[in-house]
Chains A and B, each alone.
Chain A
Amino acid sequence: MPEPSLYLQAMGAAAIVSALCVLVLAGVRRPASAARLNSACVLGLGLGLAAGYHALTWRWAWPPVHGLDRFLTIVIPAVLGIELIAGFQCVPRWVAWCLRMGLAVTTPRILLQGSVYLSGPGSDWTLWQTGAGLAVCGALLAGLWGLLGRLFERSPGVSIPLALCLTTQCAGLTVMMAGYIKGGAAAFPLAAALLATALGARLAAPRSGVPVILGIGVVGLFGLLFIGRFFGRLPTDSALAMLIAPLLCWATEAPLLRHRKPWFVGSLRLALVAIPLVVVLAVAKRNFDRDMAPLLGKDLAPTSHFQSRHRTELAMVPCPSADGHSPQLPCTRAQHTRNTSFRARPAYTARGGIVGRSDSESE
């Protein structure tokens, strides 16, 4: 069962720990050097995520057995490690990018380890499909990381981390609505830690971009969507739409927009990224209401042709006024039942039972 209060606690814990870490470590001596700021952000993100998942009361076994466990215990620490190394001045940029691309290519393989997609002769995929699938997924992650990294270098600021936070949060909700509750819940501490670290870094060093925030944001988003797609029931089109949504930030690099004020560019980026996310969330909500809501005891979908037909008929009936005379606009089922309670026509309750029988029938 989704537990919103627990998720809020986890987000709060992740955000507070991350922000405090960054502000204390990077803000002691201002201005903070790029390497020190980066190290502070690595530590802030790591501790923030640990605090967030601890608040969710998650425990992991080693070696990890699930895709989500592998994501949180192998992939995320690997990103933090790579970005810690990449943050040192002595490490050439090409070395840092080689490490990042290496991780991007191997991440899908790590996440699918031991699953039906890879293991043994009875696997869901042929060898060729496995190779192609892993290559495409690795290329998608590498491409997203590379393109957003390039944009982050051109115009560092909080808009790209904020766009990644927004997308991660929406990805979590979508994965959750697709039926994988724990997978979706993993997004909340991640988004909170990212947001707090980005804002903390902004306060500590206003003009510098911190690559680790981008790395965790991109790989975190990819990992959640990948797990939701391959282990849960997240549709491929929704996963792809959310994965490439942050790339819409590139639209502000158009000549007409590029030299606008930073707040305008940032707001425009967030608005552009939000458009596909809203569409994906709306579709996910519709699918959730259709498939999952009945399992949680909410309004039951019609289970038979009989019920379905009668529900449709009922929905088409214009709503009579309270005095029982002139018809009005179509009304809700509850209004209709209330206003027609004197009639013999049956109305169907949320659970498929019949109510609204006439007084004469009751007698």
Chain B
Amino acid sequence: MQRTIPVWVLKLVVGAAVCAGGKSASAADEYAYDLVHSSVSFKARHLDISWIHGRFNEVDGKFSLDRVNPSKSTFELTIKADSVDTANKARDEHLRQPDYFDTKQFPTIEFKSTSTKAIEGGYEVTGDFTMHGTTRKITFVLKGGKELEFKGTKRVGFSTELSLKRSDFGFDKNAIGLIGDEALIFIDCEGVRK
């Protein structure tokens, strides 16, 4: 009896200390990607005279925001390539084929930040962007970061625009004809605090 009480008391004390310490050591807030209030869309040139618009319907992600030390903030996004939607079923099927996204071989498009820098009005984020089996480092400006509490849940919003060349990501150059090489991607996301 004399031996058991100090052990569990010790465990309790150590556990409480670890929890308290963990909480105080990290000022980062974890957010989950809110699919309902977010979108990942794109547009690409058609015949170099007009634009085709599309979006990805299935996206997942998470990000942590450290207001005290912004360089510790991280952003991750996973897009299901199969969910491409350009409002034309035949074109969507074509885009899923190996000449374009090759969704059976490369089911996801992913971004994972490697460094974050606070700038006026948002963050400058650098990270690894993986599409079509090719990973490249990209940097973009993430505007926003305004936090709001809505019905007891903290929410934060960001938006960004970036330009990518399909040829940089291993897309077949012969398939770059009618649809231009460059694609503009628009990400508007809202995060819900976990």
| Chain A residues within CB distance 8 Å of chain B | 1, 3, 57, 61, 65-68, 114-117, 122, 124, 179-183, 227, 230-233, 291-292, 294-297
Task: Please tell me if the beta carbons of B172 and A182 are within 8 angstroms of each other in the complex.
Answer: yes
Task: Please tell me if the beta carbons of A179 and B93 are within 8 angstroms of each other in the complex.
Answer: yes
CA distance A292 to B90 in the complex (A): 7
Contacts of A230 in B (CB 8 A): 104
Contacts of B172 in A (CB 8 A): 182
Task: Please tell me if the beta carbons of A233 and B102 are within 8 angstroms of each other in the complex.
Answer: no
Task: Please tell me if the beta carbons of B90 and A294 are within 8 angstroms of each other in the complex.
Answer: yes
Partner of B133, one of A65, A116, A233, A296: A65
CA distance A44 to B103 in the complex (A): 35
Number of A-B contacts (CB under 8 A): 67
Q: Which of B105, B107, B133, B170 is the most central at the interface, judged by chain A CB atoms within 10 Å of its CB? A: B105
Give 1 or 0 for each of B161-185: 1 = CB within 8 Å of chain A CB: 0000000001011110110000000
Task: Please tell me if the beta carbons of B98 and A1 are within 8 angstroms of each other in the complex.
Answer: no
Which range contains the number of B residues in contact with the other chain?
20 to 34
Task: Please tell me if the beta carbons of B105 and A233 are within 8 angstroms of each other in the complex.
Answer: no
Q: Tell me the nearest residue of chain A to B46, going by C-beta.
A: A297
Contacts of B177 in A (CB 8 A): 1
CB distance from A292 to the nearest CB of B (A): 7
Task: Please tell me if the beta carbons of A296 and B178 are within 8 angstroms of each other in the complex.
Answer: yes
CB distance from A305 to the nearest CB of B (A): 16
Partner of B104, one of A57, A115, A122, A297: A115
Task: Please tell me if the beta carbons of A65 and B97 are within 8 angstroms of each other in the complex.
Answer: no
Chain A interface mostly:
loop
Task: Please tell me if the beta carbons of A115 and B105 are within 8 angstroms of each other in the complex.
Answer: yes
CB distance from B169 to the nearest CB of A (A): 12
Task: Please tell me if the beta carbons of A181 and B175 are within 8 angstroms of each other in the complex.
Answer: yes
Contacts of A67 in B (CB 8 A): 98, 105
Task: Please tell me if the beta carbons of A232 and B98 are within 8 angstroms of each other in the complex.
Answer: yes
Does B91 reach chain A (CB closer than 8 Å)? Answer: yes
Task: Please tell me if the beta carbons of B99 and A180 are within 8 angstroms of each other in the complex.
Answer: yes
Task: Please tell me if the beta carbons of B91 and A295 are within 8 angstroms of each other in the complex.
Answer: yes
Does B67 reach chain A (CB closer than 8 Å)? Answer: no
Contacts of B175 in A (CB 8 A): 1, 181-182
Does B137 reach chain A (CB closer than 8 Å)? Answer: no
Q: Tell me the nearest residue of chain B to A183, going by C-beta.
A: B98
Task: Please tell me if the beta carbons of A231 and B102 are within 8 angstroms of each other in the complex.
Answer: yes
Q: Which of A57, A65, A122 is the most central at the interface, judged by chain B CB atoms within 10 Å of its CB? A: A65
Task: Please tell me if the beta carbons of B178 and A291 are within 8 angstroms of each other in the complex.
Answer: no
CB distance from A124 to the nearest CB of B (A): 8
Q: Which of B90, B103, B175, B177 is the most central at the interface, judged by chain A CB atoms within 10 Å of its CB? A: B90
